[in-house]
Amino acid sequence: MLSVGFIPASSLDIEDSFFRYDTSFIQTVGADFNIAGVYNIFTTIDIRETKAQSIYFDPYRADFTIGMGLNFRDFKFGITHECNHDVVTGFEFNSYNGWEGAWMNITLGWSRGYTITDKISLTPAFFIGYKPYDNLYIKSPTRYYFIQHKYGNANNSIYGKLNANFDLFDFLNIDLMFQPEFSLAYGKWNSIKGNIRAEGRFGNIYLGFDWTMQTRLSTTAYAVNEFTIFLSFRGGNYLF
C-alpha cells in the first residue's frame, strides 16, 4: 500500500498544553501478509512534513506501526505496537517538533459481515482492548540538542471499541468507530475516541478522508484530533 495525503488541520491536547498543526502532508507505505486466512502480520510507516521554501519539504515526524493478528471464524486476536518519533532537520527544531509517543494495544474481538442487498453490506465489530502503556515525551529544545521529559502516561488502560463498516455499490466504503477508554491505574475514564473514514474505490485506487476525534476526560496522556484527505494505491498478490 502506498498513500499520499494532505492534513488541513490537526491538534494535540496534553494536560495543560494545546498544540495546533496546520497544512501538513503525509506519505504512508505499508505491507500486510496474510497466511491461510488465519495469521496476519502487518506494518506501516507514516512520514509527515510541512512545506519548506520553494520546492522543498521539511519532515517533522515518522510514525511506525507493527502488529500481528489471529483469526478463528468470526473471532480475532491482535497485538500492535505504535510509536511516533521526532524528525529534526537543519540542526534546529521547527514549530512542529518537540514530542514523541509510544503505545501498545492487545485486542480480542468479534466481526461478521452481513449482506443487506446485492449492492450493500454491513460488517459490525466489537473489540475489548488493553493498553499496557501509552506514554508521551515532550522535548525542551536547545538548538539541536534537547532535554527529554516524560510528560504524561495512561498505562494499564482498558477500552471497548465498536466498529460499523458499510460497503456500498462496489465502490464506496464507510467505516465508523467509537472507543471509550478506562484507566485501571486511576480508576477513572480516560478518554472517548471516534473515527469516521470514507473512501471511493476505483480498481486499486482509493480516494477518501479520515477524521479522528478524541476528548480527554481525566488522566489520558494525550488526545489527537486530525482530519486527513488521502489518495492511496493498494494491491495484493499470492506468493504461492
pLDDT (0 to 100) of residue 148: 66
Domain total for the chain?
Answer: 1
Residue 75 CA: distances (Å) to CA of 31, 68, 71, 81: 22, 14, 6, 21
What CATH number does the domain containing 219 carry? 2.40.160.40
Is there a domain that residue 240 lies in? no
Per-residue pLDDT tens digits for 104-117: 999 999 999 999 99
State what percent of residues in the chain have pLDDT above 90: 64
Is there a domain that residue 97 lies in? yes
Per-residue pLDDT tens digits for 143-152: 556 666 666 6
Please check the confidence at residue 201 and state whether its pLDDT lies above 60. yes
Please check the confidence at residue 219 and state whether its pLDDT lies above 80. no
Global pTM exceeds 0.85: yes
Is there a domain that residue 164 lies in? yes
pLDDT (0 to 100) of residue 145: 61
pLDDT (0 to 100) of residue 25: 94
**What is the DSSP code (8-state) at residue 8?**
E
Distance in angstroms (rounded) separating the CA atoms of residues 98 and 88: 9
Residue 153's pLDDT band, with cuts at 50, 70 and 90, is confident
**Residue 169 is part of which domain span?**
2-233
Is there a domain that residue 201 lies in? yes
Residue 122 CA: distances (Å) to CA of 74, 118, 162: 14, 12, 13
Distance in angstroms (rounded) separating the CA atoms of residues 103 and 65: 10
Whether the CB-CB separation of 67 and 90 falls below 8 Å is answered with: no
Distance in angstroms (rounded) separating the CA atoms of residues 186 and 16: 18
Concatenate the DSSP letters of all residues of 77-88 into one string: EEEEEEEEEE--
240 vs 17: which has the higher pLDDT: 240
pLDDT (0 to 100) of residue 149: 64
Distance in angstroms (rounded) separating the CA atoms of residues 98 and 169: 44
Distance in angstroms (rounded) separating the CA atoms of residues 136 and 104: 12
pLDDT (0 to 100) of residue 89: 83
Distance in angstroms (rounded) separating the CA atoms of residues 119 and 77: 29
Is there a domain that residue 238 lies in? no
Is there a domain that residue 187 lies in? yes
Window from 78-82, 86-90, 203-207 with minimum mean pLDDT: 86-90
